[in-house]
Chain A
Amino acid sequence: MMLNYDIVVIGGGPAGLAAAIEAHKNGAENILVLERDRELGGILQQCIHNGFGLHVFKEELTGPEYAERFIQELKDMNIEYKLDTMVLDINEDKLITAINTTDGLIHIQAKAIVLAMGCRERTRGAIHIPGTRPAGVMTAGTAQRFVNMEGYMVGKKVVILGSGDIGLIMARRMTLEGAKVEAVVELMPYSGGLTRNIVQCLEDFNIPLLLSHTIINIEGRDRVEGVTIAKVDENRKPIPGTEKHFECDTVLLSVGLIPENELSKNVGIKINRITGGPDVNESMETSIEGIFACGNVVHVHDLVDWVTEESTRAGRNAARYVLGQLKSEDNIVEIKPGKGIRYIVPQTARLSNVEDKLLLYMRVDDIYENMKMVIKVDGKELRSIKKRHVAPGEMESVNILKKQLDEFEDIKEITVELVEEE
């Protein structure tokens, strides 16, 4: 079967939904969303806790509520979508090969593609925990799906490795459902999760948070029977003599997320070494013209609200591209992280396509207090923003007004760096 669409969005999670809706609002007509799961909404459907939407809706929603608002809007716009549909391949002519049970194998010719495949969890192998390989070791997200959507418990006595938000949220969830969470173990000297989650998910239930600790061994032949944890030094190496043993039947891993870019890599899109996602320009367009990307496939976000914002830009620009409103330009401005900044998205900008402002998302490389973020254009300070507290777990955003940039000529480079405040 051969189909033709103006815009095909790959992924029906928060990123794909927002992109499709915004593309429609900006005049694109023929839009198709492809989703591999049985329903739209993506991972939000299993994130039943609240705290979503404070920026977008100015109220606190649960994940499914947040998703449902977008799903409803998409349906109201009569945007087409296909569920249970897996994209096998895309090529640089924007021809998509996908399969599902009802249409069989389909080829879809798109004028523009928006990549919104999200991310996956890092696994035990990626963090090299020695020991046996029994049942009962699971990523926190898989456990979250079992408990919240499928309605099954994955264990009774739990140790959680990693204090990112998913780990913290699952500590509370497992406790509320009757399990005993022995500890949350964090390699770094600080938690990667929101303070509010440390208070409401751990302290409320007297669950210890062991910072600068890690699991050094997993025991149990068929099912997990226990773990050994140890304190780590400043190089994150276990300190001999600090070992502690916990009896448990379950180890949940919340040790990071990885953008899922197999399709992007196969089509030859340039992938950023630090973010693990495609390099993008001001329009969220990848290294291949007409292929856009947004959400966790580009870089891992901590708040879904930022995913929505970023994806509306991708959707709007995909529509502008299809309508011939995006300009190609010879002068490509490089946007580079300076001291204290790990990465900035987007990586490049064509200023003629920047409308009223250029929005930069970035992460810092460590925890800092009392800093200022200095934005420089070709080495000259444009402005600086005071930051009382920054942490790698909390994404920072910086807005640069178009009219400020217009005061410069032939800009080559924009940088952001952290400087101590005197």
Chain B
Amino acid sequence: MYDVAIIGAGVTGCSIARELSRYNLKTILIEKDNDVANGTTKANSAIIHAGYDPVPGTLKAKLNVAGNAMFDKITEELDVPFKRVGTLVVAFCEEEMEEVRRLYEQGVDYNVPDIQVLDKEALLEMEPNLSDEVVGALYAPSGGIIGPWELAIALAENAVDNGVELKLNAEVKDIKKLDEGYEIVTASGNVKTKYVINAAGLYSDKIHNMVSTPTFEIIPTRGEYHLFDKSEGDKVSRVIFQAPSKISKGVVVLPTIHGNLLVGPNAEAIEDRQGIETTREALDFVAKQGSKSVKELNFGNVITSFAGLRSKTPENDFIIEESADAKNFINVAAIDSPGLSAAPAIAEYTVEILKELMGELEENKDFNPIRRPHINFIELSDEEKAELIKKDPRYGRVICRCESITEGEIVDIIHRSVGATTVDGIKRRARAGMGRCQGGFCAPRVMEIIARELNKDITEVVKDRNGSYILTGPTKEN
């Protein structure tokens, strides 16, 4: 019997798993897919919001500012790339400037650090590539950018290293109430547990309804993005929001943590919880809307477009509480924006709820918050590079030439405790195939390495989820 089972290994579930690994608990993290961070976490704006935006009195308002403040420590402990580049909410007319000033007042109320209102001149000095139409902006220096899936993977890895069990490929089919606790029926065996934390993202209402009458409904809301080549990466240095107007919430233009440029998203409520296809209309809308903020965006340099789904509810707030009619079953649901920014605070808040139910928890004396750092070969000095290749020659072989990722790095991320098993898993952890050729040159080599290291046939290596096979078999066999 487990003490706690967390359903869903997105950034929320992984944050809670790591927070729980500070205590002597038997914890299991259950994920339907073959990798962590495979849903909403892998396709969003990758922003750590400063926190001036949420409606007063909401959990979002409380946990966003708190979560934001925790990122310096957590990203340092876990070796996750994170930069407080600052965020700007840009206004294009006086009406929008009023909104900017309202957000400023609200941000002051929420204790968002160092925010200020900028006039046009100050704004353009900061961001010379912004449109000439801008009139001013709200500047929040504490806002930042991060690699969201890298954060979730690091959290999961650190949790596992501190004793949490990770169960992949385990879609939850049913949950039975036991006399004490629950039995979770999954695609790969049953799990008995005293407490359940429902962090199932887009499916959190379905999971909840397995043990309770429906109390909330997730509306999958699709957002589409353009990702640009690094050649466009220095168009802006900060996250550029557009002031919300009656017509539109606006799209964001931002540098990504790895130096690309990201433009998006739109927001479209859809029915399909797997509906991550992009559409011509939305991509065109995003392109047009993004071009409003920044001059001369060259869409010829887009290297990929993608869509992600957010778990929205009409109430527009996080749901973090014990289910009314399922004892010891805690929902952590409706985590849409600013869910990523709030994630560390959500984890603490959830563990507080657990403590109320379980009583004081015994600390895990062996808890080690530090994750073994990733080697990022290309960022090392020449001396360090030479030294490393001498120690392990596999660091002397570049596999992904666009991002300069070596075989040594790929082998390392396959063999970590939450290691990569798929081509996209490698891409998310080491950026191989993330560059301008989008894996054209390195995919065959990456597949070869996965097959060799995991002792598989190369035809069994998948791109992403199970079923996303790449090769159909050897030639000359029919």
Direct contact, A vs B (beta carbon within 8 Å): yes
Is the Cβ of B440 less than 8 Å from the Cβ of A121? Answer: yes
Number of contact residues on A: which range applies? 35 or more
Instruction: Return chain B residues, CB-CB under 8 Å to A107.
Output: 382
Q: Which residue of A lies closest to B399 (CB)?
A: A86
Is the CB–CB distance between B303 and A223 below 8 Å? Answer: no
B302 to chain A, nearest CB (A): 5
Contacts A125-B227, A146-B444 hold; do A135 and B464 have CB atoms under 8 A apart?
yes
**In this complex, what residue of A is CB-closest to B231?**
A265
- Within 8 Å of chain A (Cβ to Cβ): is B276? yes
Residues of A within 8 A of B56 (CB): none
B274 on interface, CB distance cutoff 8 Å: yes
Taking a contact as CB atoms under 8 Å apart, the answer to whether A156 and B472 are in contact is: yes
CA distance A198 to B195 in the complex (A): 65
Cβ of A301 within 8 Å of any chain B Cβ, yes or no, is no
Within 8 A of A (CB), among B370-413: 378, 382, 385-386, 389-390, 393-398, 401-402, 404, 406
Decide if B473 touches A128 in the complex (CB within 8 Å).
Answer: no
- Residue contact B389 to A105, C-beta cutoff 8 Å: yes
B85 contacts the other chain (Cβ, under 8 Å)?
A: no
Contact (A99, B478) CB under 8 Å given A120-B440, A125-B305, A141-B440: no
Among A125, A146, A153, the most chain B Cβ lie within 10 Å of the Cβ of A125
Give 1 or 0 for each of A10-39: 1 = CB within 8 Å of chain B CB.
Answer: 000000000000000000000000001000
With A104-B386, A125-B305, A178-B478 as contacts: A120 and B397 at CB distance below 8 Å: no
Contact B471 A153 (CB under 8 A): yes
Judged by a CB distance under 8 angstroms, whether A151 is at the interface is yes
Contact A152 B277 (CB under 8 A): no
B265-315 with Cβ < 8 A to chain A: 274, 276-280, 283, 299-300, 302-306
Report the bound CA distance from A86 to B439 in whole Å: 17
Q: List B contacts of A249 (CB < 8 A).
A: 472
- Which residue of A is nearest B467, CB measured? A222
Does B397 lie within 8 Å of A152, measured CB to CB?
no
In the complex, which residues of chain A have a beta carbon less than 8 angstroms from the beta carbon of B283?
128, 130
Q: Are B474 and A153 neighbours in the complex by a CB distance under 8 Å?
A: yes
Name the B residues within 8 Å of A389 (CB-CB): none
B404 and A135 within 8 A (CB): no
Q: Mark A216-249, 1 if CB is under 8 A from B, else 0.
A: 1111011100000000000000000000000001
Residues of A within 8 A of B278 (CB): 130-131
Assuming A216-B280, A221-B274, is B473 touching A153 (CB within 8 A)? Answer: yes
Complex: A223 Cα to B469 Cα, angstroms: 7
Indicate whether A124 sits within 8 Å of B438 (C-beta atoms), given known contacts A104-B386, A104-B390, A104-B396: yes
Report the separation of the CA atoms of residues A133 and B42 in the bound assembly, to the nearest whole angstrom. Answer: 13
Tell whether, in the assembled complex, residue A130 and residue B440 are in contact, meaning their CB atoms are under 8 Å apart: no
Output the least CB separation between A123 and chain B (Å). 4
Contact flags A113-128 to B (C-beta < 8 A → 1, else 0): 0000000110111101
Give the docked Cα–Cα distance between A221 and B466 (Å).
11
* Chain B residues near A (Cβ < 8 Å): 227, 231, 274, 276-280, 283, 299-300, 302-306, 378, 382, 385-386, 389-390, 393-398, 401-402, 404, 406, 436-441, 443-444, 458-459, 462-476, 478
Given A139-B440, A219-B277, A222-B464: 4 more A-B contacts, CB < 8 Å:
A88-B378, A126-B300, A155-B472, A217-B277
